[in-house]
């Protein structure tokens, strides 16, 4: 829990891909924050992998929404405890069918200095991948599918 008290549950999910213009707007909104000296951003993009010679054309993401949002709230609290200098933390994950090349995941942290922002983003991405019940079904070019497993 941060010194200002617990954070409210924030809905991290968006329908479909994350629009690059949304990311640009998120960054621009921080221009008036003169206490910020660093932003760190992780962007996850749907890769055009090949599975047994068949191309992945999209990933269909689903989640246990309530459970995922509760877990994300705990991760967020832990991040603010570990890196109290963080001034902003934004997480978004796409749901539904997201084609290859499109953005599906974003973690954005701001802090007075780069080290806190960089470390926090790396830690948050790893925790989300390990702890949130978000599932990806890789859609293949032959109309079959496979459930994605995180590496």
Give domain limits for the chain: 13-19+36-147
Q: What is the rounded average pLDDT of the residues 87-112? A: 97
pLDDT at 6: 63
Summary mean pLDDT of the chain: 93
Share above pLDDT 90 across residues of the chain, in percent, rounded to a whole number:
83
Architecture per CATH, 13-19+36-147? Alpha-Beta Complex (3.90)
Output 144 or 45, whichever has higher pLDDT.
Answer: 45
pLDDT at 135: 96
pLDDT at 5: 57
pLDDT at 148: 80
pLDDT at 45: 98
Q: What residue has token string 């080290």? A: 115
Q: What is the rounded average pLDDT of the residues 38-46? A: 97
């Amino acid at each position: 829990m941060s010194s200002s008290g617990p954070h409210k549950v924030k809905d991290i999910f968006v329908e479909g891909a994350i629009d690059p213009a949304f990311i640009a707007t998120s960054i621009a909104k921080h221009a008036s924050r003169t206490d910020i000296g660093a932003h760190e951003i992780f962007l996850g993009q749907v890769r055009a992998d090949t599975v047994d010679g068949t191309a992945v054309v999209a990933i269909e993401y689903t989640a246990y929404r309530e459970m995922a949002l509760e877990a994300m709230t705990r991760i967020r609290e832990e991040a603010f405890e570990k890196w109290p200098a963080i001034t902003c933390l934004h997480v978004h994950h796409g749901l539904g069918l997201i084609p290859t090349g499109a953005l599906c995941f974003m973690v954005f942290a701001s802090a007075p200095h780069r080290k806190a922002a960089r470390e926090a983003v790396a830690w948050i991405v790893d925790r989300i991948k390990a702890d949130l019940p978000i599932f990806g079904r890789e859609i293949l070019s032959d109309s079959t599918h496979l459930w994605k497993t995180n590496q």
